[in-house]
Amino acid sequence: MVKTYLTLFTLLLGLASHSQTLRGIVTDEQGTELTGAYIYHPTSGHHVHTDIQGRFEMDGVQAGDSIHVSFIGFKTEKLTIQSVDRELKVILAIQVNLLSEVRIRPRSELSDMINELDLITRPVTNSQTVLRKVPGLFIAQHAGGGKAEQIFLRGFDIDHGTDVAIDVDGMPVNMVSHAHGQGYADLHFLIPETIDRIEFDKGGYDASVGNFSTAGHISLRTKDRLEGSSLQIEGGQFSTARLTGLFQIADKKNHGGYIALERLSTDGPFTSPQDLQRTNLQLHYDMQLDDRNRFDLHLSHFTSRWDASGQIPQRAIDQGLIDRWGAIDDTEGGETNRSDLILAWENRFDPTWTLVNTFSLSHYSFDLFSNFTFNLEEPEYGDQIRQNESRYLYSWRSELSHPLSIGDWETEIQGGVSWRYDDISDSYLARTVGRDSLLRRLSYADMQESNLAAYASWRWIHGRLSITPGLRIDRFEFVHRDRLDNREVKQVNSAYALSPKLKLDYIHSDHLKSYLYLGQSFHSNDMRMTLGENPTSSALPASLGADIGLIWKPSPQVFVQAAAWYLELEQEFVYVGDEAIIEPSGATQRSGADLSARILLSQNVVIHADATYSFARSIDEENGEDYIPLAPEWTASGGITYSSDLGLSASLTSRYLGDRPANEDYSQVADGYLILDADIGYSWKRVRVFVNLDNLFDTEWKEAQFLTRSRLPGEAAEGIEEIHFTPGTPRAIYGGVRLNL
């Protein structure tokens, strides 16, 4: 493959500049290499970024020229080159005034500029808040703290991940044909303190990302090295306790690693304790084999079990049967486990060619008990269901990248192939009683699904203009073995998806950038609905989207991003867990606007604000009957953060989710909410003490809501349809102490 690439670009390389090449390395004051640092050559207008080893190469530089080296969170260095014959070593110092170091450049991505700033000023404190770092993304937990969160983004009720692709260090998180829902993405296996950065892209404009990237994708990257070992103990209301340890096991120039552990337990605010018990173990090790080869190893294991009170109907509270924290069936709950192996090898086999191979293997199990309708289907025994599965997930990606200059154009070619294989066994939905007795199975199958893909993009930069065309092709194979009632019926299917992309960026000045992105993407559907003589859905319904926006930095203290967008989806589906079916809802269209701002009031005070509006409708339905249930319309989040040089820090944050339709004619409303949280902390030498106050004003709110028909004891056989909800957390205080060892 490498020889083929080299042959294809031989003529292009002949056009490249033969000027002298400056080589260098960028580190912080402790000697840690900085990946992604920006090196700018004012004479030519060209720029490069450091690789994963902190190294860079820049053509066309001569002795006497100047270069600018910058990285978010560090002070920019302006250097005069004395000689290009020896390696340049650049050391960057930490800079408190972070916004002043944000530069708008041809290769700048919104996620780079916002999230690196946010992670420094507002670190992630728990796995639930990880996704909230993406502007405009909201989450809801509705099953005792153990299930994956419900996700809302860009007018989508994404359920547990159907329309947003998520990966950790290149390992896919979304589960295809999952027992509880397509695209199920559980991030509770991630220890928040190990997160180094969050990369995101709204819309399906990245050729390297395929399945589930309808509304966007999120890539979480864990730390390669620790600043040092630490031990953290937390506790608070509802019998909540958390222990986190990060232990550095090696920190040498050519190799290093750490072990991280997390133990969490809580009963939650419910009358029937949720008894959530979660354990995480993680090992990371990296080796610099030589100047051109780097190897990374990641091992992790996660286990969680919990009880849940489930969603409750308002009428049960009005009748005095329960209060907000009660349950109709408190035998809900579940257990899940996940073990992961990630191997990554980066090879710079040529000064300008980089090949990165990433392989991952996951073993996953899931067992969930729920009761959405109470006594509607089984008046005598109750409507509890059990969803169960076990799977092995294999993935591999090989990506080749190469920057080069062609005349006056600076370009970068990126291409790769990827493969994913899910081997799912004992996936079933069953009627149960009290978790113990099996009434009957509604579905029972083994499944295998494979996804082979190839993609390429080529970024062209000329002066202020950047053009990036991209193309991706995916092939899926589905194998379903129906084992219900010992049938052993095998069904096979395959499907293709072709996804073209185009990005246009224009830099008006160092303070203003505008962009237009166009792209086609897709999400796969549960294979059970794509097989058989009369399939109810297409395997890979496509989406077509467009973004137009600007990134503006009117002053060193202010950063603003605004965008208008449009998205059309060929077919949407709603998973009905208590009936073991997926209901097709036809084609949909969405449009909206996003606005983000970061303001530095002083050296110590930062304001962040994000707001979104979405208009979501079904295309094939009549006006007034075309609302998409639970699709968010208005969202907003913001806050103010203070941090002093003396170790004191504090923040006040808010999040707002507006009312939204609960059904197709908006006759039922899912109530919105406004929640404020606060925290304060103090660091002194090796110790940090902190206190978090959730739901500052003790607002009564509904975290997750669904329009459901259910039947309580004594009600008519047809039941009653109304909003069922999980109450949001009341005011609660938590505190902790971290010791840097």
pLDDT in tens, 67-109: 999 876 678 888 999 888 888 999 988 765 556 656 665 555 6
- pLDDT band per the 50, 70, 90 thresholds, residue 522: very high
**563 pLDDT more than 70:** yes
Measure the CA–CA gap between 119 and 327, rounded to whole angstroms: 38
What does the pLDDT look like over 671-722, one tens digit per residue? 999 999 999 999 999 999 999 999 999 999 999 999 999 999 999 999 999 9
Share of the chain above pLDDT 70, in %: 91
Average pLDDT over residues 152-181: 92
Amino acid at 442: L
pLDDT value at residue 128: 62
Q: Tokens 């194979």, residue?
A: 477
pTM confidence score? 0.90
Helices of type H across 512-578:
none
Q: Does residue 456 or residue 600 have the better pLDDT?
A: 456
Q: Tokens 């507002």, residue?
A: 122
Compute φ and ψ for 529, nearest 5 degrees.
Answer: -100, 0
- pLDDT band per the 50, 70, 90 thresholds, residue 29: confident
As a whole number, the mean pLDDT across the chain is 89
| Other beta carbons within 10 Å of 423 | 16
| Other beta carbons within 10 Å of 290 | 8
In terms of Cβ atoms closer than 10 Å to its own Cβ (0-12, 13-18, 19+), residue 86 is exposed
**160 pLDDT more than 70:** yes
Which of 685-694 are b and which e, b meaning 16 or more Cβ less than 10 Å from the residue's Cβ? Answer: eeebebebbb
pLDDT value at residue 108: 53
Average pLDDT over residues 385-409: 93
> First CA to last CA across the chain, in angstroms?
47
pLDDT value at residue 669: 96
- Find out whether 171 and 665 touch, Cβ atoms under 8 Å: no
pLDDT value at residue 574: 59
Average pLDDT over residues 431-456: 95
In terms of Cβ atoms closer than 10 Å to its own Cβ (0-12, 13-18, 19+), residue 103 is middle
pLDDT value at residue 113: 66
Average pLDDT over residues 507-536: 87
User: How many CA atoms lie less than 13 Å away from 26 in the CB half-sphere?
Assistant: 29
Q: Which of 12-16, 73-77, 112-116 has the highest mean pLDDT?
A: 73-77
Which of 146-180 are b and which e, b meaning 16 or more Cβ less than 10 Å from the residue's Cβ? Answer: bbbbbbbbbbbbbbbbbbbbbbbbbbbbbbbbbbb
Bridge pairing between strands 673-684 and 648-657: antiparallel
pLDDT value at residue 7: 46
Q: Does residue 602 or residue 113 have the better pLDDT?
A: 602
Q: Name which of 283, 285, 278 is nearest 189 in CA terms.
A: 278
Measure the CA–CA gap between 276 and 145, rounded to whole angstroms: 7
pLDDT value at residue 575: 46
Q: Does residue 310 or residue 519 have the better pLDDT?
A: 519
Q: Name which of 225, 339, 219, 221 is nearest 279 in CA terms.
A: 339
What does the pLDDT look like over 189-230, one tens digit per residue? 999 999 988 888 999 999 999 999 999 999 999 999 998 999
Q: Name which of 274, 282, 312 is nearest 299 in CA terms.
A: 282
**480 pLDDT more than 70:** yes
Helices of type H across 673-721:
none
Q: Does residue 73 or residue 599 have the better pLDDT?
A: 599
* CATH code assigned to 192-740: 2.40.170.20
Give the range among 69-73, 352-356, 390-394, 453-457 with minimum mean pLDDT: 69-73
Q: 356 — alpha (psi -120 to 50), left (phi > 0) or beta? A: beta
Q: Does residue 420 or residue 578 have the better pLDDT?
A: 420
In terms of Cβ atoms closer than 10 Å to its own Cβ (0-12, 13-18, 19+), residue 609 is middle
Q: 578 — alpha (psi -120 to 50), left (phi > 0) or beta? A: alpha
Q: Does residue 60 or residue 588 have the better pLDDT?
A: 588
- Find out whether 205 and 519 touch, Cβ atoms under 8 Å: yes
Domain extent listing, the chain: 2-95, 192-740
Average pLDDT over residues 594-622: 93
Q: Where are the beta strands (DSSP E) in 81-207?
A: 88-92, 138-140, 150-153, 156-157, 164-168, 171-172, 195-202
**738 pLDDT more than 60:** yes
Measure the CA–CA gap between 416 and 550, rounded to whole angstroms: 30
**578 pLDDT more than 90:** no
Bridge pairing between strands 66-70 and 77-80: antiparallel
pLDDT value at residue 330: 92
pLDDT value at residue 189: 95
- pLDDT band per the 50, 70, 90 thresholds, residue 16: very low
- Here the tokens at position 712 are 């309580």
Amino acid at 661: P
Average pLDDT over residues 466-491: 94
Compute φ and ψ for 127, nearest 5 degrees.
Answer: -65, -25
- pLDDT band per the 50, 70, 90 thresholds, residue 664: very high
pLDDT value at residue 179: 93
Fold of 2-95: Immunoglobulin-like (2.60.40)
pLDDT value at residue 73: 67
